[in-house]
A and B are shown apart, each in its own frame.
Chain A
């Protein structure tokens, strides 16, 4: 057996070990590689950034824990952008396992904003003038910066996929009579100006499956609202036709898209520290490079082996 034969039949556990090291080492020792913003990601950020205070935004969490490492950072960066801009945000999910993920993300980001707001309001060096400039509002006493039913509403999961989209086109409060916490939606202030999908200023679908097509077909095209999409890296290619046709105005693809959005939110001063996607890009860079090198080497071994066999014949 020649060297090339041996290399082509190498024990797969050596490859597994290389992958593990390529992921673990950059995660433990971040390199801080620069992240370039792509046009489809910039378009989403710019569109959301231009929306006026109180504009209605719908975010759909159409993924489950399998895709959480890629899509959850994207979701949280979007939440931070929305809340900083004081946009009115409604969150739904068409995936059963997305309900608890959504609750976790909403509760965490809302909690962060509310605690920062209160700390900065109580800080003698910052105080109400600083808070007024940063948040655009000063609330007296113990009142939270973000209030459920006023600034945002988390509606949770409803079975039916496309039917839920069509139902929301008729009425938010009829389709979801209660929010995820069991509160009546008809009593919520946020739904006074947001009756149906036609009242939306923008919609983002963060999807691991084929729900983007569904939101376009049954929602955007019928009820005429602007839409963007976030998806896993493997499914990004299937949304480029929608991007090209203008049916979605921007696209966040995989962990890279999430890192790009985190960077834009950070650069614009809407958040103060890099998110998990930015940290994860170093590991992804190393694994991609390693895979490319492995593919190149295996082909060199393959060609050498083939040449040698031809010579022997």
Chain B
């Protein structure tokens, strides 16, 4: 079992990782052909990952319903919503079951998407505006020197990114805002990006050489 659970996945990860790394530096057509085949395989695997994701979601909520955990009714809503969208995506009176035309404009799927999912998700996101202003009122305080700098910068950027800011404070404000974004903010972002990039390289090497194994699932050896 150890062979199937450990050695083979680590070997596949090692060989695939090394190949995908080196192929970048070898423009020969034979290597590029293998690379293209691998990309096609991976696209198919990614499609199956979506199926696994859907199974995992349904399994999780089925457990909640079966055990009657607190607020299990919401899990029933997940099931109803999931199947209502899937069935209407596949089926319509005009084309029957499985025709790709079913999901185009005018179909039930598009209608449900436009008039149920879009307003619901937009509403959830819009609530952030209320929470952000309320949180700013309660906790955005100039307690320290650093907090004061952050506060002043935030107010300048907030006003500099809207037309009213320019009307009140003149054209220098948007220019100054653009300078903040292009210079100090960008310098900090670049530092973060470099850190992230190095971390990606380190994690990739750890996976390729079999040091990082969490992707194979948790649990004891």
Chain A contacts to B: CB under 8 angstroms: 10, 12, 15-16, 18-20, 23, 33-36, 38-39, 64-69, 96-97, 100-101, 103-104, 107, 158-161, 163-164, 166-167, 170, 174-175, 178, 180-182, 233, 236-238, 240-241, 243-244, 253-254, 256, 281-282, 284-292, 294-296, 298-299, 302-303
Contacts and interface: CB of A to CB of B under 8 A. Distances in A.
Interface residues of B, number: 63
B76 to A, nearest CB: 22
B92 to A, nearest CB: 13
Contacts of A182: 99-101
B110 A100 contact: yes
A16 B134 contact: yes
B47 A237 contact: no
Contact of B163 (A15, A103, A160, A281): A281
A299 B141 contact: yes
Given A100-B113, A163-B46, A65 B163 contact: no
A294 B43 contact: no
Contact of B42 (A163, A180, A291): A163
B136 A181 contact: no
Contact of A294 (B42, B100, B137): B137
Contacts of A290: 133
B149 interface: no
A33 to B, nearest CB: 4
B220 interface: no
A97 B118 CA distance: 9
Nearest to A100: B113
B159 A289 contact: yes
B49 A159 contact: yes
B125 interface: yes
B17 interface: no
A164 B43 contact: yes
B4 interface: no
B172 to A, nearest CB: 12
Contacts of A12: 134, 137-138
Contacts of A104: 105, 110, 114
Interface of B: 36, 39-40, 42-43, 46-47, 49-50, 99-101, 103-105, 109-110, 113-114, 117-122, 124-126, 129-130, 132-134, 136-138, 140-142, 151, 154-155, 158-159, 161-168, 171, 174, 178, 181-182, 185-186, 189-190, 192-193
A251 to B, nearest CB: 10
29 contacts: A20-B130, A23-B129, A34-B163, A35-B163, A39-B178, A64-B121, A69-B126, A100-B103, A100-B113, A101-B118, A103-B103, A103-B104, A103-B105, A104-B105, A104-B114, A159-B47, A160-B43, A160-B47, A180-B104, A182-B100, A238-B189, A238-B192, A240-B189, A241-B189, A281-B162, A287-B129, A288-B162, A289-B165, A291-B158
Contacts, number: 177
A296 B155 contact: yes
Contacts of A238: 189, 192-193
A236 B46 contact: no
Nearest to A284: B162
A33 B193 contact: no
Contacts of B163: 33-36, 281-282, 285
B104 A237 contact: no
A243 B182 CA distance: 9
B136 A291 contact: yes
A302 B155 contact: no
Contacts of B137: 10, 12, 15, 294-295, 298
Most buried by B among A158, A236, A295: A295
A66 B49 CA distance: 24
A253 B160 CA distance: 13
Tell which of B47, B104, B121, B134 has the most Cβ of chain A within 10 Å.
Answer: B134
Nearest to A210: B196
Contact of B46 (A10, A97, A101, A159): A159
B46 A160 contact: yes
B39 A292 contact: no
Select the residue from A66, A100, A166, A237 with max chain B CB neighbours within 10 A: A100
A23 B132 CA distance: 14
A163 B16 CA distance: 14
A49 to B, nearest CB: 22
A34 B190 CA distance: 33
A159 B166 contact: no
A39 B42 CA distance: 40
A302 B141 contact: yes
